[in-house]
Amino acid sequence: MLRLAVNLFRVYPGYCPKPVGIGSSTPATFVWNKVFSKWIDEWHARNMSSENTRTVDVAKGTMRTLRNNLKMADKIQYYNQWAQTYEQDLALLEYRAPSLVAAQVSAHFSGERRAAAVLDVACGTGLAAKMMKQEGFERFVGVDCSEGMLQHARQTGLYQDLKMAVVGDQPLPVPLGDFDVVTLVGGLSSTHIPVKVIRELCQAAKQGGLICMTTRANHDNAIFKVALEAEMKQMEEEGLWRRVEVADVSEFQYNVTDNEDGYNPGCVYLFQRL
Ligand X SMILES: C[S@@+](CC[C@H](N)C(=O)[O-])C[C@H]1O[C@@H](n2cnc3c(N)ncnc32)[C@H](O)[C@@H]1O
- Residue 144's nearest CA partner among 118, 172, 116, 104 is 172
Query: Quick one: which segment of 27-35, 54-62, 120-128, 240-248 binds ligand X (CB under 6 A)?
Result: 120-128
Q: Would you say 97 or 182 has its CB closer to ligand X?
A: 97
Spell out the residues 6+ positions from residue 207 whose beta carbon is closer than 8 angstroms to its own. Answer: 177, 273, 274
Between CA 98 and CA 48 the distance in angstroms is 22
Residue 32 vs 62, nearer CB to ligand X: 62
Which residues from 152-171 bind ligand X, rule CB under 6 A? 166-168
**Interacting span for ligand X (CB under 6 A) from 117-125, 203-211, 238-246, 252-260:** 117-125
Closer residue to ligand X (CB): 105 or 123: 123
2 Cβ neighbours under 8 A, 6+ residues apart: none
Output the CA–CA distances (angstroms, integers) from residue 266 to 23, 97, 134, 199, 220, in the order listed: 29, 8, 22, 21, 12
Q: Closest separation between CB of residue 144 and ligand X, Å?
A: 5
- Looking at the DSSP bridge assignments, the partners of residue 118 are 140, 181
String marking each residue 165-204 x if it binds ligand X according to CB under 6 A:
-xxx----------------xxx----xx-----------
Residue 63 burial (CB count, 10 A): 20
> Is residue 213 within the footprint of ligand X (CB under 6 A)?
no
Tell me if 256 contacts ligand X by CB under 6 A.
no
Q: How far is CA 87 from CA 5, 60, 90, 92, 115, in A?
A: 31, 13, 5, 9, 28
Select from 20-28, 106-114, 122-130, 258-266 the region that touches ligand X (CB under 6 A). 122-130
145 near ligand X, judged by CB under 6 A = yes
Of the candidate residues 19, 21, 124, 209, the single one contacting ligand X (CB under 6 A): 124
Residues within the interface to ligand X (CB under 6 A): 79, 97-98, 122-124, 127-128, 144-146, 149, 166-168, 185-187, 192-193
